[in-house]
Amino acid sequence: MKRFGSLAVANRSNVLAAVLLTVLLLLNSGCRTADPNGPRALTATEASRLAEALYLNHLQGRSLFEVNTVTERGGAMLRLRGTVDWSGKLGRALVSVEGTDHTLVEVAWSGDLVAERRPFFDSVLLSHGALQPVFILRPADPSLRIDNVIRVVKSLSSQDRENQLLLRRKEGTAYLRSDSLRDQTVDVIRYGQRTVYWINQSSGALLRFEGTDSEGGLQIIVDFFGPYDDDANFPSRQNLVEISSVPELRDVIRSF
C-alpha cells in the first residue's frame, strides 16, 4: 500500500494509507444517512471493493476530477477542476481560490514538471518569445500547496490490486455506511484513521476520496466523474517559459 506523507508517496505497497495534507475543506457529502450496521468490520465483499478501487482507476486510465480543499490551515477555499491521465502521467486543471485575490488560474503537469498559467504576468512572459496562452514551467516542488494537491490526484491509481486480508487488519479500517452520491449507491469505507473511500456498489468505481491530516484539521476531497474523450495535454513548448528565465517570479509561484 502507498502512504502519503505531506502528500508525498512514501511506500508504493501502501496505496490506501493515511494522507497527511496541507489543505482544508469539508464538503456536504450529500445524502448521508446513518447506517445501523456501521461502523463495523469489513465483509469480504466490501474488502474486495476497497482492494480493487485504485486498480480500477489504473485500468480506466483517465478521469475527470474535482478537488476541494483550502490553500492552508484556515486559508481560502481552493478548487481544481480538470482531467487526469494516470497512464500518461499527465493532468490539467482550472484553479479557483474563493474570496481572495490570486494569479494562478490553471495548472498542468507531466511527470515531475508543472506548468502554471498566471495571466497577470503575461507581459513579462511574452517578452521571452512565448505564445499565448503562456505558462511558467518549473519542476514539481513538495513544499508548494498546489503541488501537494496534484500529488494526491496522481496517486489515486495503482497498478496492483491490494491484499484484502491486510486491508481488513489495518487499524481503524471500517465500513461506515451505505450512502448515495450523485444518484449512485455507494459503500463508504474508512481505511486506517484518516482516509475514506466512496465506492460504487455496482461497478466498484471510486467516486470520492477524502483525506485528513493527523490533527484532523486539514482535509481534501477528490471527486471522480469517469473517463473523458479528449486526450489530456501538456502545454506546447512554444507556450512555456522556464522559471529560470524569469527569476523575478520565483516568489510568485509560492502563492496562489
**C-alpha dihedral sign at 214, 207, 180, 94:** positive
CA dist 179 to 31, 43, 168, 182, Å? Answer: 7, 17, 21, 10
134: which 3 cell numbers?
503562456
CATH number at residue 173: 2.50.20.20
- Whole-number Å distance between alpha carbons of 89 and 76: 28
Of 96, 99, 98, give the one whose Cα is nearest residue 80: 96
Instruction: Judge whether residue 218 has pLDDT over 70.
Output: yes
For the stretch 97-155, pLDDT in tens is 997 778 999 999 999 999 999 999 999 999 999 999 999 999 999 999 999 999 999 99
Number of domains observed in the structure of the chain? 1
DSSP string, 152-174: HHHHS--SS---HHHHHHSTT-E
> How many CB atoms are closer than 10 A to CB 233?
13
Per-residue pLDDT, 190: 96
Over range 35-47, report the average pLDDT: 83
Angle at CA of residue 73, ends 208 and 77, nearest 5° = 55
Q: What is the pTM of this model?
A: 0.83
For the stretch 163-207, pLDDT in tens is 998 999 999 999 999 999 999 999 999 999 999 999 999 999 999
Contact 210, 68 (CB under 8 A): no
Of 252, 65, 66, 55, give the one whose Cα is nearest residue 162: 55
Contact 218, 23 (CB under 8 A): yes
- Whole-number Å distance between alpha carbons of 189 and 43: 11
DSSP string, 3-26: -EETTEE--TT-TTSPB--S---P
33: which 3 cell numbers?
444517512
Element (H, E) at 46: helix 44-60
- Whole-number Å distance between alpha carbons of 128 and 75: 34
Q: Domain range for residue 124?
A: 4-254
β-sheet bridge partners, residue 77: 70
